[in-house]
Amino acid sequence: MSSGSPRSGAGRIIAGRYLLLRRLGSGGMGHVWLAHDQKLACEVALKEIVFRDPAEAGNEREARVARARAEARHAAGLRGHPHVVTVHDVLEHEGLPWIVMEYVAGAVDLRELVTRRGPLAPAECARVGLAVLDALTAGHERGVMHRDVKPANILLAPDRAGSPYGRVLLTDYGISVQPDGGETRYTRASVLVGTAGYLAPERASGGTPTPAADLFSLGCTLYFGVEGRGPFERESHLAALTAAVMEEPLAPVRAGALEPVLHGLLAKDPELRMTAQEAEAALSGLVTPHVEAFERTRTDPGSPSPWETPPAPTAGPDGSGPVTATPGVTAPGARRRRRSPALRAVAACGLGLVLALGGVWYALADRAGGGTARPYGEAVGLGKPLADGDCVLADWPGGTRFAGTPRLSLDPTCRDQAPDGQVVAFAEAASPDEARKLGPVRCEELTRELRDRLADVRSHAVVPSGAGFEAAGRRTACLVLGAHGPLYGPLGERRRFGTPFADTATMQKRDCLDVRSNREARLVPCGGRYDQQVLGFTRLGADVTLAEARTSSDAACAREVAPRDYGFDPSVYEAGSWTSDGPWKSGTHVVVCTVRRQNGGTMEGTEP
């Protein structure tokens, strides 16, 4: 049964002004529509509050209208904040409340993005978290609690620079509350406000909304972003609520350097929970690592990581195993002892002997093996270190991409064997341990700019093994790989002007194209004449065939990546598109969206 009213379809005009174009999504409160503001000649988003049955409409109408007004008031109070969806107005039409909001073109919510593309990298998730935290803090400073922070309420959209997910926005203040504002709470006592699995324990137990409760929900959201599942994900809402109150989060496996932040935000006791200031500092450290982390000299292999200080293992009291020792805290059963100078001298001599013997062993072992130790270990299989620009083929264990360690081989031509990706950067390290701990995070940062210009890629760090650390040049190789399939050629500045594209996978934002036919485009410099310029990307439905895409992709790009949003005069320019076999073989159905002149003329320089 449809959850909307019979007259709420596309083509309807609301309040004599807003023409409904298409439904953007639906939620517990109603529907969100793309609408055309006939007065200002622009597109907006309209949130329609829907009553699901006549009895609810009769009993709850006043509360729903008041709640819509409260949402508009709270969100309007944050108008202009870079990470909050702007609310323009709240109105009533035929007795029902509607909220007029900013339309965010090309937006996808975090839940949908992770479902489609897989979990985010820790550094990327930290970037999203930092933006949402900024929005929450702005609300908290006004006394407004969001109360429903979750992946579906975080939008990621293209920014002005063209990054597809560069803009991060918090939306849906529909159940927000200002506890000290004297306003009526329009929620029945029998209804628990929030989303199971993202609700703080104190809220699930009936406590008052607080900033700390929003931070717990943010922690659950970031956990989902980096892990691909919620920390208290269970078979039912009741089980999820119970888990949030009584159980510890599921152990993260992908969080990496983000794990301490998740641990701090998900503390059961709000008094012990990480504060907004602490979370901001920790997330900022992940998004923009300290300079000294990258400039650490090789003579200081014991320096701590900028994001975590690894605990020092000490012998347990019964000699059975290590006990984690915290700096400044004596482990249970252990005693602090001052060693005499003589004892220290003996220890130093013994250590020197061990190191000397180890060096002899290493030299003999390397000579016995002919100096051919694999730099990245047996699993990766490469006999020589990767070089900048190397194109690779990746054979993933079990055939699942980005699951486990891939076995790599080279495609010397970067084209003959449909390479999966390319080496685009290196992350240096002072020790094998540092490479193992920080290599993946640094690769995420080093490849971010390139990845943001491509449609469907991910970063992958090829970390040197302990024995192969020196052979690998003391550095981690940073790859950019196709997220769901091959890339079919070189990337970024490694492409040559004049070369035809083998597939749309290597087209990137702001590329300028020389179009030879509707089947062939070549990369050319943007300083001269060209036929089209790449603006961004969109995806078509799973049921759309490639043949259908070739006739409908222009219209899809005109809707989702409209040239006018990038400053192009709609009376002169129009949307174009490119499709290829690759995205349909992988099931991603990515379309490259371009801009071109309506009369077919060439473009030049920095148009518009």
Residues marked as binding? 47
Cβ neighbours of 269 (radius 10 Å) = 9
Q: How far is CA 51 from CA 28, 102, 118, 389, in A?
A: 10, 24, 34, 58
- How is residue 179 written in tokens? 């506890």
| 3-state class (DSSP) for residue 315 | strand
Residues 486 and 418: beta-carbon distance below 8 Å: yes
φ, ψ of residue 289 in degrees (nearest 5): -60, 150
Binding site feature residues for ATP: 47
Cα first-last separation, the chain: 48
Residues 328 and 309: beta-carbon distance below 8 Å: no
Which ranges in 35-142 belong to alpha helices (H)? 54-76, 110-117, 122-141
What whole-number distance in Å separates Cα of residue 601 and Cα of residue 8? 42
Residues 164 and 536: beta-carbon distance below 8 Å: yes
What whole-number distance in Å separates Cα of residue 382 and Cα of residue 407? 8
What whole-number distance in Å separates Cα of residue 269 and Cα of residue 424? 44
The residues facing 552 across adjacent strands are none
Give Rg (Cα) of the chain: 28
Closest CA to 192 of 135, 244, 270, 139: 244
- How is residue 165 written in tokens? 């997910």
Q: Tokens 């083929």 identify what position?
A: 393
Closest CA to 474 of 433, 413, 418: 433
Residues 11 and 38: beta-carbon distance below 8 Å: no
Q: Of 109, 134, 148, 511, which is the active-site residue?
A: 148
Q: How many residues belong to the chain?
A: 608
What whole-number distance in Å separates Cα of residue 158 and Cα of residue 164? 4
Residues 174 and 71: beta-carbon distance below 8 Å: yes
Q: How far is CA 459 from the centre of its chain?
A: 12
Residue 608 preceded by cis peptide, ω within 30: yes
Respond yes or no: is residue 148 known to be catalytic.
Answer: yes
Which residues are known catalytic residues?
A: 148
